[in-house]
Amino acid sequence: MPRKIAPLAELQVSKAKPKAKAYKLADGDGMYLLVTVSGGKLWRYDYRFQDKRKTMALGQYPAVSLADARKRRDDARKLLANGQDPADVKKAQKATEEQQATTFEIVAREWYAKNELVWSQGHAVTTMNRLTHDVFPCFGEKPIAEITAADVRAMLLKVGNRGAVESAARIKIICGQVFRYAIAHGVIEHDPSSTLKPSELFQKREKGHFAAVTNPKELAPLLRAIDEYHGTAVVKAALKLAPMLFVRPGELRNMEWREIDLDAALWSIPATKMKTRQPHLVPLAKQAVAILRELHPLTGTGQYVFPGRTSSRPMSNNSINAAMRYMGYDGDTVTGHGFRATARTILDEVLGFRVEWIEHQLAHAVKDANGRAYNRTSFLDDRRRMMQQWADYLDGLKAGAKVIPLKRTA
């Protein structure tokens, strides 16, 4: 008959001293106090489950008293009697508690802190503003594991219903990035926002119109996202020039070095490449010239400014849109062609430039008072000033400056 173990006394536990080797003081029914070499006193419970010997931690003395340790042991014995492994139950309870304590806001701020240093200041400020103003008030305090697609949908509709559809689309992207960060760190198992599409939540644009961002406040984060694009240098240069030059995507991707005079800051597009079958001149702002000069060492020995996989062909006709999809902007929010509508709207309604200059720069069919088509040099000096001021305006938006609209030019 096995010798019955005398239970420990509180005084015995408190007076236990460390020795050269760790040792145990048994209390009975599998529980004991492990005294470490450093003097730590740890409660442990040895048991068998499915013919395997296991040890369960019950806490550390004196934070967990002798009486508390015995209660934890007795609770574990009850679980064993019901066919449950107490260590597994404890682990599951801990995971549940951690999930309850891990709110969306906690995860979002951790995700933000890890990315803030590699973002531009403007993008970082915009991202946090969107989280604090739109997302956190809706479900920031809710455990991230309990957030549903319905929660995200309600928040996006609230933003979209105030007329900020582009903001809603961008906020959806931010939420998706936070959820995927949580997945990568084992906090949740799926992204509840992944099934939501802004194109299905909000009214679609009229057929035949390219998706475009025409609100300066919505254009600013898009410009910052372009600056932070991590794709190839060729595609990034094309992305940066697309809103600045607002030519048709096919005209941009087929740009050739022989058509460009960097010293004169002018791009001469031959008639064969134009939709109107008329030659076209695109004045290059100093920012555009700087981008092209930086790109020249990479592609300047070839035919195309933006070559594809082989230097004999330009990049794909979907490169710009694919890059924007990569940045999180879907086809119902913005397209490469949409930059033309962006420039057309803001140059006219915000900056106040003459419509004839804008239309001519867009290479639309513009006629004079006698019904004759203007030639490619019409308003060239005026268009030079307009294109420079447009590039400066875009820089101001990216920097987060309050850009004051220009007075309508006479």
Catalytic residue annotation: 248, 275, 337, 340, 364, 374
* Euclidean distance between CA atoms 303 and 315, whole angstroms: 12
For residue 35, how far is the Cα from the chain centroid?
A: 50
Spatial contact of 362 and 340, defined as CB atoms under 8 Å apart? yes
* Euclidean distance between CA atoms 364 and 352, whole angstroms: 19
Q: Which two tokens stand for residue 265?
A: 């800051």
Q: Quick one: CA torsion of 44, 46, 47, 49, rounded to 10 degrees?
A: 80
Angle between helices 165-184 and 216-227 (to 10 degrees): 40
* Euclidean distance between CA atoms 39 and 33, whole angstroms: 12
Q: Which residues contact 256 (CB under 8 A, 6 or more apart)?
A: 303, 304, 305
Tell me if residue 293 falls in helix, strand or coil.
helix
Backbone angles phi, psi at 181, to 5 degrees: -65, -45
Query: Omega before 2 cis (within 30°)?
Result: no
